[in-house]
Amino acid sequence: MTSSFPAVLTIAGSDPGGGAGIQADLKTFTALGCYGTSVVTALTAQNTKGVQAVHPVPSSFVDEQLRSVLDDIDIKAIKTGMLANESVVRTIAHALKSQSSSPSPPPLLVIDPVCVSTSGHTLLEQDDESLNTLVRDLLPLATVITPNIAEAALLLKYKKQTDTPKKNEEEDAPRSITSIEDMLRVARELCALFGSRSQAVLLKGGHMAHGQTRLEDVQEVVVAVAAAGQQVYKVEIEGELVLPDDANMEVLFHAAAQDPASASMRDVPVVVDVLCEREEQQQGGGGGRGGVEENVRFTLFVRPYLDSNSTHGTGCTLSAALACALARGDTVVEAVKFATTYTHYGIATAFPVGHGHGPLNHMHSILPRMVQRPTPNDPYPLVRMLIRSNADIWKQYVEHDFVRQLGQGTLSRDRFVHFIKQDYLYLKYYARANGLLAAKSSAYADFVAAADMVLAIAKESKMHVAFSAQWGVDLAELECTPESPACTAYGAYIMDVGLQGDAASLIMALAACLIGYGQVGLWLQCEAKKQQPQSWVKLEDNPYRTWIEDYSGEGYQSAVKIGIERIEALAVHDPPSPKTIEHWKMIWERCTRLEKGFWDMAMNLS
């Protein structure tokens, strides 16, 4: 088996409904480009409404299956799911321990400690022998264990009861896990209690809060941990689908919000998974345990909460995707990031199956889509990708000194007038480019869209004329102003893209200006709404207030939304190849740099 298609093994029960168990695992393996193998531990009668019956496979036959696969195929990673009973758990642990003595590296192991199904059916006999064998013999072999909230509480309760006899009845109850702080505590305790230094614990938070947790709650936890000075806590937030306040993407939330006034990244309901990894640090002077101090590192994986009934097999799918990523050579953090994102989109793009809790869409990644289809939680994935592809330049453009001084009302008159004159001239290029876009189009709807944009630019030019007049610049002066090199370079570039490329390339060339000015206007408005003294934007008596309100206003923002949706339609209707995506990113970056250069031109009076 080549490294391009690593072999991955699932050891789990069978789900005839196809949503969970080895069926879900094998679908995931295939969708993610891995060769799937399986060992069946139990036959079940189940569907989307629940588990009706379980028939465990004899442990001797589980052993036969396992040795048959491992003796022949170079397995890179293994995941376990439903293990049914103590005999099966013991058999698997013994077989995997024997693998560790072989000359070749043992497979990486992901353990999903499945104990009870969502419908309440027992998937692992919860007698002392089963739990003891799981905790004592199997969990220490894991690279990563992936309990949910209930499983984590059960494991922690059992482990502590066996280590320390209970003193009262209250210790019979599982530890309560109702907050992110609780998750950090429990993940750390599990990481410390089980296994070797190489082990990590991924505590899944999908069953906690049910949409009540907000991004603001996560940020408060991060601040509180840092303020407590607990250096062992290294909390990092990952998540392509949740944007921090300084990401300069308010424009996407504004365009997507049903109520634009309520659009706020901090108000997004989120799900949080906590990854706890062990670290070793050298102590000064070589003191204590041979000079090595053991710490842990936390990574918080944050994604939007999905209110969905298509969650059957979520844990199976996540652990299977995690095993695939580890088999490909990803680090644990990289693998978890990949697996949580894959699982999220499996829920977000699921289609109805059955009459209960339906399965995920494991096939969403089979088509070679470089850009995910828009979903309610991520309606503009292509624009998000473009902004992230050159985030540093985008930030320099949006938060330029020219923009900051506009917001403060301290920008010198000569710089603003110079900008207004050059912007008026640039709008002619922008109108010509949109006319060229109409010529490159083949559908009437595209003709209308391009024509509407030209008319909008004509309207904006009149706004420029009226605004310029307030600053003592009449139409004649605007028309006879020589173009600056920055204006000519930008205008010539978008026309060159239009003449050489297709309609999609020209749309990309026009996007940075349209979306960027919308983002600048919203950013200044958002900063202005902050309580003093946090807000540095001063709208009262600001000579540039009209400019700020024009670009943050609904008229311009409506045009931005139309432009964003036109861009997203490119990827939906004709999924771009990797080469096309790179070409679009190059155009976007070049235009973002030219936009920044326009601000530079104004500041330098060049």
Is 204 considered catalytic here?
A: yes
Measured CA to CA in angstroms, residue 405 lies from 169, 363, 416, 539, 599 at distances of 65, 50, 10, 12, 11
List all residues 6 or more positions away from 131 whose beta carbon is below 8 Å from its beta carbon.
Answer: 124, 154, 155, 158
Measured CA to CA in angstroms, residue 500 lies from 406, 431, 450, 563, 588 at distances of 36, 18, 18, 21, 16
**Residue 65 near residue 50 (C-beta atoms within 8 A):** no
Burial class (CB in 10 A: 0-12, 13-18, 19+), 123: buried
Upstream peptide bond of 352 is cis (omega within 30 degrees of 0): no
Residue 185 burial (CB count, 10 A): 16
**Residue 493 near residue 594 (C-beta atoms within 8 A):** yes
Alpha carbon distance 40, 21 (integer Å): 9
If residue 467 lies in a helix (H) or strand (E), which one and from where to where? helix 444-470
Alpha carbon distance 492, 594 (integer Å): 11
List all residues 6 or more positions away from 124 whose beta carbon is below 8 Å from its beta carbon.
Answer: 82, 83, 84, 85, 89, 113, 114, 115, 130, 131, 134
The structure tokens listed for 405 are 């001084």
Alpha carbon distance 314, 339 (integer Å): 11
**Residue 235 near residue 177 (C-beta atoms within 8 A):** no
- Which one from 313, 516, 518, 521 is the annotated catalytic residue? 313
The structure tokens listed for 37 are 């193998």
- Which one from 19, 21, 36, 315 is the annotated catalytic residue? 315
- Identity at 76, one-letter amino acid code: K
Is 563 considered catalytic here?
A: no
- Which one from 314, 317, 340, 341 is the annotated catalytic residue? 314
- Which one from 27, 76, 79, 204 is the annotated catalytic residue? 204
Helix (H, G, I), strand (E, B) or coil at 520: helix
**Residue 39 near residue 66 (C-beta atoms within 8 A):** yes
- Which one from 115, 276, 316, 324 is the annotated catalytic residue? 316
Is 276 considered catalytic here?
A: no
- Which one from 10, 28, 80, 311 is the annotated catalytic residue? 311
- Cα 12 to the chain's mean position, in Å? 28
Alpha carbon distance 477, 468 (integer Å): 10
Q: Which residues are catalytic?
A: 204, 311, 313-316
